[in-house]
Amino acid sequence: MLELPTSRDACLALDAADPLAAHRDAFALPPGVIYLDGNSLGPLPARTEAVLRDVITRQWGTDLIKSWNTAGWIDLPRRVGDRIGALVGAAPGQVIVADSTSVNLFKVLSAAVSMRPGRTVIVSEPENFPTDLYMAQGLIRQLGDTHSLRLVGPDALAGALGPDVAAVMLTHVNYRSGAMYDMAAVTAQVHAAGALMIWDLAHSAGAVPVALDAAGADLAVGCGYKYLNGGPGAPAFLYVAERHQASFAQPLSGWLGHAAPFAFETEYRPAEGVSRFLCGTPPILSMSALEVGVETVAAAGMAALREKSMALTTLFAARAALRCPSTTPASPADAARRGSQFCLRHPQAYAVMQALIERGVIGDFRTPDILRFGFAPLYVRFVDVWDAVETLADILDTGAWERPEFHARKAVT
């Protein structure tokens, strides 16, 4: 770990020596903005516009429907899936890009439950991202309430793993606190209880090294528009370990998950392998943008990204403790136990974040009192961390957040 800089100049020196510095040029960041929200919406990669223009004008505009074959559109879900697989420790043929994270959660939960007949409990945690819990609740209703959801915090997980548990669904890096589970240890614990393990990698893919195969994970889902920089509403991905692919039933049995979509048979027959988790026609424009986003991360390598990310969050935590005494940390103190974000609590967090955004430091607010800051090491610099904390300190010291316009809640926080 790097020695922490103690001045703005020392931050500039670290940036000048940063082996990842050039990767910032892979993004079209607006001037004057410190972007600490790549965990919610990754910024626009510099190449995306040209790639999409080609997909639109040449592949779609000129080549029309031929592009399903000539431009390889039909292979995109697997091709981009394998690229994401390389970032999350999955050998080829186990990751596919499709639908949204929420829809993919439904698919993998349904498949997991059907693989553990006689077991009727899905375990998760109350602090999980709500859509994960909502999708489990929806599945349970669909199953006629034969199953139930058991919510326990990380410390109570061991005690919740009875012989009735079919599957455990956890988010690897918590969306609010940034706390990170030990994927291999938890997966082993869940397997020892005879249950299947589902990981949500929304805040992990492209942010921290993940080793799905090595950890023995059964299923996983993840998000394309956060650290993978795929653009607003980018398609999501899902992982099915090869050993499970033949026995998994896909509840959304659409034609592109069929063994022979263009045979137009009357009866559904699932495709071999991870392709059976496709449902309908893939969104080619969005998926093409996601491919560019994934390439921005792959070009840097997860190990180097992780090292810088831990240094960035450590610097932020130390500076905030010094300069913003009215805040309290809401993320683990040990960099190894958190993802690529750091959160602070403040009773007026919403207004404070609005004041920060007005000054060009973009993070986000998570109810009830969390200031959330994501540090994507591809483009966030040490000097950005320094300046962000100084701006926050000024807002807190001067009470700039008290202006009435900072208190009006917007639809998206």
Ligand X SMILES: *Cc1c(COP(=O)(O)O)cnc(C)c1O
- Binding stretches for ligand X (CB under 6 A): 100-102, 129, 131-132, 171, 175, 200, 202-203, 223, 236
Annotation marks residue 382 as catalytic: no
Helix (H) or strand (E) holding 114: helix 101-114
Find the DSSP H helices in 268-301: 284-298
378 burial level (CB within 10 Å; 0-12, 13-18, 19+): buried
Rounded Cα distance between 238 and 219, Å, is 7
Instruction: Tell me how crowded residue 211 is: count the other CB atoms within 10 A of its CB.
Output: 14
Smallest distance from ligand X to CB 287, Å? 14
Annotation marks residue 106 as catalytic: no
- Name the DSSP letter for residue 45: B
Smallest distance from ligand X to CB 235, Å? 9
Rank residues 147 and 203 by Cβ distance to ligand X and give the closer one. Answer: 203
Smallest distance from ligand X to CB 286, Å? 12
Nearest to 232 by CA among 38, 379, 61, 97: 38
Smallest distance from ligand X to CB 234, Å? 8
Annotation marks residue 150 as catalytic: no
Rank residues 175 and 239 by Cβ distance to ligand X and give the closer one. Answer: 175
Rounded Cα distance between 65 and 175, Å, is 40
- Return the sign of the alpha-carbon dihedral for residues 327, 383, 12, 228: positive
Q: Which residues have CB under 8 Å from 306's CB, separation 6+? A: 208, 209
Rank residues 55 and 223 by Cβ distance to ligand X and give the closer one. Answer: 223
β-strand 341-345 against 370-374: which pairing, if any? Answer: antiparallel
Indicate which residue of 35, 225, 365, 382 is catalytic. 225
Smallest distance from ligand X to CB 103, Å? 7
Smallest distance from ligand X to CB 376, Å? 15
Please, which residues bridge with residue 151 across strands?
A: 124
Annotation marks residue 107 as catalytic: no
Q: Give yes or no for a contact between 29 and 397, defined as CB atoms under 8 angstroms apart.
A: no
Residue 225 tokens read as 């528009």
Rank residues 100 and 189 by Cβ distance to ligand X and give the closer one. Answer: 100
Rank residues 172 and 381 by Cβ distance to ligand X and give the closer one. Answer: 172
Nearest to 187 by CA among 206, 171, 203, 168: 168
- Return the sign of the alpha-carbon dihedral for residues 19, 25, 26, 27: positive
Annotation marks residue 226 as catalytic: yes
Specify the residue for token string 């000024």. Answer: 394
Rank residues 106 and 248 by Cβ distance to ligand X and give the closer one. Answer: 106
Please give the positions annotated as active site: 129, 200, 225-226, 372
